[in-house]
Structure 1
Amino acid sequence: MKSPRRTALIVLIGLLIVGILGGLFASQQTFKKRHQERIVATTYAVVQIADRLKLPLVGVPNTANKMPARYRNVTKVGSPMNPSAEKIASVKPTAVYSVTTLKDQFGKSFKQQHIKPYFLKLQSVSDLQQVVTKMGHQYDRQKEARSANHEINQAITTAKQRAKGRQRPRVLVLMGLPGAGYMIATNHAYVGNLVTLAGGQNVFPSKDQEYIQPSDEAIQKAHPQVILRLEHAMPEMVTAQFNSEFKSQSFWHQTPAVQSKRVYDLQEPDFDATANMHAAKALGEVSQWLYPGSR
């Protein structure tokens, strides 16, 4: 007859073995799940997020931006504005990601290929952090997600400290459009959000619109002290357009920003129309432009 102590020891050993086997099985399932993921990123902003989270990709967009080393030999699936449903389908994806601002670009061809993209909201730094957190949890990259968000939080804290106790500058944000002039970015646009976080006052706030039509008279009356010119697409063309506009239209010379030479050009990869993993650096630059001479 077995003693109670011996019986208890056997039960304990059995439980330990079951626990170890359960842990090994769970680890094996996680490893298997990681290697079964076939993710397609159709915009460069999503590529950056995937790279920061160390996610595997089987499809990336055609872009002039430098592709992270881990994705250089990955299948190109077309431009963010016009991705190819056929190429995406050919890599047999388990998930396809784009951004909400390009939702209209995914038409009938995607339904015909039985592809249902996920659209990430990246209109603000907060949106970006939420996406990073959610994808970090979904793909078991919580550590990487926390690290990325910590970096952004540090940049926000630094920007707030730089602006503390100082008068808020009046800021005008313009988004250049290749061959079609420019739009005014409100506080709801990504760069407008950077201005808010940096402690600036957007001279064209809105309740819900990201971009509004420009008005020479309204810009004059706004008296912007700082002008940020976003040149996220075809920067050479857009920069030339802006320079021509600012030279030919006399009202620009009457703005405090031009008179004090506080006009700044924003280009990729640090700046874009949607939030991306350069957010911490971009916020730091905007903060220094708004509050020069401070740490």
Structure 2
Amino acid sequence: MKSPRRTALIVVIVLLIVGVFGGYFANHQLAKQRHHQRIVATTYAVVQIADKLKLPLVGVPNTANKMPARYKNVTKIGSPMNPSAEKIASVKPTAVYSVTTLKDQFGKSFKQQHIKPYFLNLQSVSDLQHVVTTMGNQYDRKSEARAANQEINQAISKAKQRANHRQKPRVLVLMGLPGAGYMIATNHSYVGNLVELAGGKNVFTSKNQEYIQPSDEAIQKAQPQVILRLEHAMPAMVTEQFNSDFKTQSFWRQTPAVQSKRVYDLREPDFDATANMHAAKALGEVSQWLYPGSQ
């Protein structure tokens, strides 16, 4: 008859063996699941995040921007503003990513194809970093996520050092609209967030709105010392619109920014309406425009 102590030892050994094999099986299944992820990115900002994290994609948006080499031959699924539910469904995705600002673009056709996109919040640099961390954890790309966020953190620290103990310049941020003039970007916009991180004072703030209607009188009264013009869509047309407006509207010539030639055009891919993986470079540029000549 076996002693209770020996029986207990055998039970412990069996449990350890079961635990080891159970853990191995679970890790194997998780690795298998990650290997078979079929991810679709419907915006260029999401493509950039995926590229930084070295994630495979089975669908990418049509874009004028340069596509990363790893996605050169990946299926195009339409423009970010009007992605094709049929093309997305054809690549049999396990996850489809867009951004919160385009949520209204995904209508009945996606429900009919049984596609439920995930909408990433990229309204600020901190939101971008949160998304990078979350996706890094989800897809086992933690080291890549840490490296990407560290690059942004270094840019933030450098911008703070440049602005330290200096008077904040008054900044006006405009977003050009092809054929329809422009909107004013508030502190809740992505570029507005870059201005804040760079140590500038956005002359137009809001409690919850990203963009507000322009007012010539309000702009003139704000006396901006720096003007940033975001040329998000159709940049050639928007730049021409801006230049024409700044020449024909006399109030622009009366602003300190125009008088001191501190008007800067923001173009893709470094700048966009939502945060992207060029955030570190974009912040560095805004920082230098706000505080020229400083290290």
TM-score (norm 2): 0.94
Give the secondary structure class of the aligned counterpart of 1:174: strand
Once residues 11 and 112 of structure 2 are traced to their aligned partners in structure 1, the CA distance between those partners, rounded to angstroms, is: 57
Corresponding position of 2:189: 189
Give the secondary structure class of the aligned counterpart of 2:59: strand
Corresponding position of 2:275: 275
Alignment of 1:104-115 (within 5 A): 104-115=104-115
**Letter paired with 1:140:** D
Corresponding position of 1:80: 80
Once residues 106 and 199 of structure 2 are traced to their aligned partners in structure 1, the CA distance between those partners, rounded to angstroms, is: 37
Corresponding position of 2:170: 170
Corresponding position of 2:116: 116
Once residues 282 and 10 of structure 1 are traced to their aligned partners in structure 2, the CA distance between those partners, rounded to angstroms, is: 63
**Letter paired with 2:171:** V
Give the secondary structure class of the aligned counterpart of 1:37: coil
**Letter paired with 2:167:** Q
Q: Does 1:71 align with 2:71?
A: yes
For residues 29-78 of structure 1, what are the alpha-carbon distances to aligned partners after superposition, in whole Å with 9 as ceiling and x for unaligned?
23211221111110000011111111111110000001111111111000
Alignment of 1:15-164 (within 5 A): 21-164=21-164
RMSD over aligned Cα atoms: 2.0
Uncovered stretches (5+) of structure 1, i.e. residues with no partner: none
Q: Does 1:214 align with 2:209?
A: no
Give the secondary structure class of the aligned counterpart of 1:51: helix
Once residues 181 and 206 of structure 1 are traced to their aligned partners in structure 2, the CA distance between those partners, rounded to angstroms, is: 21
- How far 1:250 moved relative to its partner? 0.9
Once residues 269 and 157 of structure 2 are traced to their aligned partners in structure 1, the CA distance between those partners, rounded to angstroms, is: 23
Corresponding position of 2:258: 258
Give the secondary structure class of the aligned counterpart of 2:293: coil
Corresponding position of 2:237: 237
Once residues 71 and 154 of structure 1 are traced to their aligned partners in structure 2, the CA distance between those partners, rounded to angstroms, is: 28
Uncovered stretches (5+) of structure 2, i.e. residues with no partner: none
Give the secondary structure class of the aligned counterpart of 2:58: strand
Once residues 267 and 16 of structure 1 are traced to their aligned partners in structure 2, the CA distance between those partners, rounded to angstroms, is: 59
How many residue pairs are counted as aligned between the two chains? 295
Once residues 235 and 29 of structure 1 are traced to their aligned partners in structure 2, the CA distance between those partners, rounded to angstroms, is: 47
- How far 1:191 moved relative to its partner? 0.1
- How far 1:136 moved relative to its partner? 1.1
- How far 1:27 moved relative to its partner? 3.7
TM-score (norm 1): 0.94
**Letter paired with 1:192:** G
Relative to structure 1, is the Cα distance of residues 294 and 7 closer, same or farther in structure 2, using a 3 angstrom cutoff? farther
Once residues 19 and 71 of structure 1 are traced to their aligned partners in structure 2, the CA distance between those partners, rounded to angstroms, is: 40
For residues 208-249 of structure 1, what are the alpha-carbon distances to aligned partners after superposition, in whole Å with 9 as ceiling and x for unaligned?
100000111111000000000000111111111111111111
Once residues 151 and 19 of structure 2 are traced to their aligned partners in structure 1, the CA distance between those partners, rounded to angstroms, is: 37
- How far 1:109 moved relative to its partner? 0.6
**Letter paired with 2:53:** L
Once residues 219 and 206 of structure 1 are traced to their aligned partners in structure 2, the CA distance between those partners, rounded to angstroms, is: 15
Corresponding position of 1:227: 227
For residues 120-176 of structure 1, what are the alpha-carbon distances to aligned partners after superposition, in whole Å with 9 as ceiling and x for unaligned?
111100111111111111111111111111111111111111101000000000000
Once residues 153 and 40 of structure 1 are traced to their aligned partners in structure 2, the CA distance between those partners, rounded to angstroms, is: 28
- How far 1:10 moved relative to its partner? 8.6
- How far 1:19 moved relative to its partner? 6.0
**Letter paired with 1:209:** Q
Give the secondary structure class of the aligned counterpart of 1:57: coil
Once residues 255 and 262 of structure 1 are traced to their aligned partners in structure 2, the CA distance between those partners, rounded to angstroms, is: 10
Once residues 7 and 151 of structure 2 are traced to their aligned partners in structure 1, the CA distance between those partners, rounded to angstroms, is: 53
Identity in percent: 86
